[in-house]
Amino acid sequence: MHQNSRIEQVEEIIRRNSDMVYRLAFSMVKMQQDAEDVCQEVWMQYIRKMPTFESLEHERAWFIRVTVNLCKNMWKSAWRQKVVSMDMSVAEEIMPGDGTFDKKKEYSKAESKNLWEESLLTDKEEGVVEAVKRLPVKYRAVIHLFYYEEMSIEEIARSLKLRPSNVRTRLTRARNMLKEWLKEDV
């Protein structure tokens, strides 16, 4: 294959999957910088391995699997476990508990955009988003893939290398946890 056409093919595959990979990573790691780091590593793994895909579904499943694994690895790392508590105090400085942000503090363009977009959510939507963020990673992943990526149970099972019955169980447990938490907030 000609070098330029291979580069164009790689760029197209990355372009086709970048939004999905970022959304999935962000839903699992909950922080923009970490999600971007995961995405970067996904693309590096893709370029290093250069897998060939039988179909678009196979391609998508590969990227989901790699993203989920990298997110899990990030959460397992000792460095990450120590840094999360520090990041939470920084987050509280940026966004005090009353839901307003400190006007005296300088915000990056990305932080400002995220704060503005988050303020557009209704209280109910905000409650759902926060409840989903509280879910354990294995439940958050299936909720994200089912509702946000609109994948079927069978597609999720193939992507995560689970049986469909395991995916259904995780969805049911996640929904029950969300219902319970959202009931408490009402």
Domain boundaries, the chain: 1-76, 121-186
Which range is least confidently modeled, 53-67, 117-131, 170-184? Answer: 117-131
Give domain 1-76's CATH architecture: Orthogonal Bundle (1.10)
Least confident of 24-33, 35-44, 58-67, 85-94: 85-94
Q: How large is the angle between the packed helices 32-49 and 3-29, nearest 10 degrees?
A: 150
Q: How many whole angstroms separate alpha carbon 21 and alpha carbon 63? A: 7
Average pLDDT over residues 42-60: 92
Confidence check: pLDDT of 28 > 90: no
Confidence of residue 93 (pLDDT cuts 50, 70, 90): very low
Q: Is the pLDDT of residue 103 over 50?
A: no
CATH code of the region 121-186: 1.10.10.10
What is the C-alpha separation between 156 and 168, in angstroms, rounded? 10
Dihedral angle over CA of 121, 32, 116, 86, nearest 10? 100
